[in-house]
Structure 1
Amino acid sequence: MPEQNPEFADIYGVFPHVVPDAHNAPRRNVVVQPRADIVTLLGRTSNRAGFDEDTCLLSEIDDSCRLDKEGMFELRFKHSIFRAHFSNANDCEFYGALGSGEARSLQEFWDRVNGF
């Protein structure tokens, strides 16, 4: 089941009791580093003000994974959480996966910001 086995470019709604959110609602996050015990995510905002290509990746609407507004993934919303959270839909709800083009852009962005 994908919700219990996060993979690169999967989108999850992460609830605020796991990762605090100013709007007290599940923030859409993308998996960027799925390790055995810890999973690193980048949070998404629908506000594109302050876009900086060094720290942000633009993200288009993608209804297949509940990205219902244009937005951007930001390094300032980078979080690492225990993999166990993904087995509980009340912690992390699986929304879908980015399409291949978006996933490729995410991989290029993640490699660049990590110096690969």
Structure 2
Amino acid sequence: MENQLEHLQICLNALIEKFNAQSADNASLTSRIQELEQEKRQLITQYDGQLADKEQNHTEQVNTLQATSDKQINDLKVENTVLRATLIDTADAIKTLLSRLPKVVQEEIEQ
């Protein structure tokens, strides 16, 4: 009976050692999980910050391109208006000059 009690005590001690080892492993794993979760939160925060920066840069670039293209379009419209007016004035001047030419010269020009 004493042998059985000793054997039971040995088994119980072994189980206690295993339990303590498992508890230590569990505490270590729990600590590691917390570290990884903190690292994950930091990475998400960094990613969100980088994404926000890229979105802001993209928006600024789009706005700059839009402003530049709007200015170029307006400049071209102004230039077009000036050139049209110049063309009309030139055509009117040519018509006036042609009307002053003698009839014979006009007929030669038309041929």
Pick 1 or 2: higher relative contact order, CA cutoff 8 A, min separation 6.
1
TM-score under structure 2 normalisation? 0.16
TM-score by length of 1: 0.15
Q: Which has the higher helix share?
A: 2
Q: Return the index of the structure with the highest Cα Rg.
A: 2
Higher strand share: 1
